[in-house]
Structures are given as C-alpha cells and as structure tokens.
C-alpha cells in the first residue's frame, strides 16, 4: 500500500471514528435535551394542574360565598315577608274577634265560659272579670248565669277571666291571651301556614 493510500485509509478510519464519536455525542446530547424537555414538560404540567386546582377551588369558594350570601338575603327577605303576613293575619283575626263580640253567639259563649269556671270553682269564692268593652253585657250575663260579674281595669279584647284566690288559680278565657298564645306559636311551615 502506498503512502497516499495509507494516508487515505487512515483519514477514512479517523473520519469514520470521528463521525461515530460525533454521532454518539449528538445522540447523548439529544437524549439529555429530550430528558430535560420531558422533565420540564412534566413540571410545567404539574404546575398547570396545581394552578388549575387552586383556581377551581378559589372559584368554588367564591360561588359558595355568593350562594350563601344570596341564601341569607333570601331568608332575610322571606322572614320579613312572613312577619308582615303574620301581623296582617293576626290583625284580621283581631278584627274578626271584634266583630264576634257584637253577636248573640258571643253572649252565649261568655255565659258558657262563666258556667264552666263556676263548675271548676266548685263553690269556692271566685271573681269573674269581663273586658271594659263588654260593660253593656254585664247585667245580661249576671241575669243569665246568676254570678256577680266584675269589669276589669284593662281591656283584654273580649272573653272572660276568673280568679279563684283560695287556690291561686287564674282561669283565662280572654281573647287577648288566646291571640297572644297563637301569635307566638304560629309559623309558616313549608308548603303552607301552620302552627309548630
């Protein structure tokens, strides 16, 4: 082999080896870059997922806060409306009771309650009160029941009260007490009105 052939062969061998080493270096570098890229991609994806979860939670909290605020405002408005309706309803009840006190049935009702109280007292001393607004009924009630009727110092919308002092008993059939009791017991139930 001539010197030129040897040089050409050496050059070809060196070039092949250099290409092979260069390709290996490039492949290693490419693999390192791809690995770095994948790692960066995973980190970016993880950060994005964390950010998405964080923003989702924040959005949910905001929605929940807005819903809670709206619910509170709705309950407040509902409570106010129910209270207004309750007041109007009981004003109407009072008006109906006032109308009832002007009927003959009311006089019969008072006589019935006075007799009931007298039976309960069973001969013990008892003071029977009627409302000042029923003063004109006093004589008729005394005539019908045979009992002494006292006019109360304050108006209780109608009905009667009796006190049995010997037993410390108050018999309260006053309309005021009945209306007050029902007013405090009354509430609007789901689907309609009712007493709890």
The pLDDT score that the predictor gives to residue 143 is 97
The pLDDT score that the predictor gives to residue 1 is 76
Averaged pLDDT of the chain: 91
Mean per-residue pLDDT, 13-25? 87
Percent of the chain topping pLDDT 90: 72
The pLDDT score that the predictor gives to residue 196 is 47
The pair of three-digit structure tokens given for residue 72, joined into one six-digit string: 């509170």
Strands 149-151 and 192-195 turn out to be: unpaired
Residue 161 · residue 153 · CB < 8 Å: no
Task: Give 104-195's CATH code, choosing from 1.10.3720.10, 3.90.1150.10, 3.30.2320.30, 3.30.70.360.
Answer: 3.30.2320.30
Give the C-alpha distances (Å, rounded to integers) separating 47 from 34, 58, 92, 125.
Answer: 19, 16, 66, 90
What residue ranges do the domains of the chain occupy?
1-100, 104-195
Q: Is the pLDDT confidence value at 194 over 60?
A: no
């Amino acid at each position: 082999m001539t010197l030129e052939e040897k040089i050409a062969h050496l050059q070809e061998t060196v070039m092949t080896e250099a290409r092979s080493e260069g390709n290996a270096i490039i492949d290693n570098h490419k693999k390192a870059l791809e690995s770095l890229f994948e790692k960066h991609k995973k980190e970016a994806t993880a950060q994005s997922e964390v950010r998405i979860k964080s923003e989702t939670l924040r959005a949910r909290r905001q929605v929940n806060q807005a819903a809670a605020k709206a619910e509170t405002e709705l309950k407040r408005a509902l409570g106010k409306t129910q209270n207004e309706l309750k007041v109007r309803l009981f004003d109407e009840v009072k008006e109906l009771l006032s109308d009832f006190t002007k009927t003959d049935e009311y006089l019969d009702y008072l006589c019935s309650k006075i007799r009931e109280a007298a039976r309960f007292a069973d001969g013990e001393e008892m003071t029977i009160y009627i409302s000042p607004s029923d003063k004109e009924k006093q004589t008729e009630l005394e005539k019908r029941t045979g009992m002494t009727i006292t006019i109360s110092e304050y108006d209780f919308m109608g009905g009667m009260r009796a006190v049995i002092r010997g037993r410390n008993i108050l018999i309260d059939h006053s309309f005021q007490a009945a209306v007050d009791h029902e007013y405090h017991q009354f509430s609007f139930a789901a689907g309609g009105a009712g007493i709890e």
